Amino acid sequence: MTRIKEVKPLKLMFTIIDRGKGKKLLSYYKSQNINYTILCFGKGTASSDILDYLGLNESEKDVFISAVYADDVPKIFAQLKEKMEFHKAGNGIAFTISLDSIGGMSSFRALTGWEEEI
């Protein structure tokens, strides 16, 4: 009889940093086995008041979209504060949204890098 393992909930994590700092962030994500990451190039159009409020000074950004396990988010955010100094204004923003529905096991495996048989 095959034993089915528990599939842990996922979140979609967005990380926004100044253009050019993405290599360091991607290296950290790889070290944490964050397997599915998309890099987009962002160019802001927000007013300077909004940018100042968010602590953003450059309008060109690296935007990372990653699938992460929900229970890993606090650890990841703590490491972003420590390694990338996200607690200092202008160094980056990270947030998550729930990923409540995934279309099948093959999609789940692609997002998580899960290679084991279920």
Closest residue by Cα to residue 17 from 45, 48, 36, 44: 44
Quickly name the fold that domain 10-112 has: Alpha-Beta Plaits (3.30.70)
| pLDDT confidence of residue 80 | 92
| pLDDT confidence of residue 42 | 84
> Taking the complete model, does pTM exceed 0.85, yes or no?
no
| pLDDT confidence of residue 117 | 57
The secondary structure of the chain as a DSSP string is: -PPPPPPPPEEEEEEEEETT-HHHHHHHHHHTT---EEEEEEE----HHHHHHHT---SEEEEEEEEEEGGGHHHHHHHHHHHH-TTSTTS-EEEEEEE---SSHHHHHHHHT--S--
> For tokens 């935007």, what's the residue?
63
Identify the sign of the CA torsion 47, 48, 50, 56: positive
Give, for all 118 residues of the chain, the pLDDT tens digit.
444 456 678 889 999 998 888 888 888 888 888 877 888 888 766 677 777 776 666 678 899 999 898 999 999 999 999 988 988 888 889 999 887 766 666 666 666 666 665 5
Give the domain ranges of the chain: 10-112
Angle between helices 22-31 and 73-84 (to 10 degrees): 140
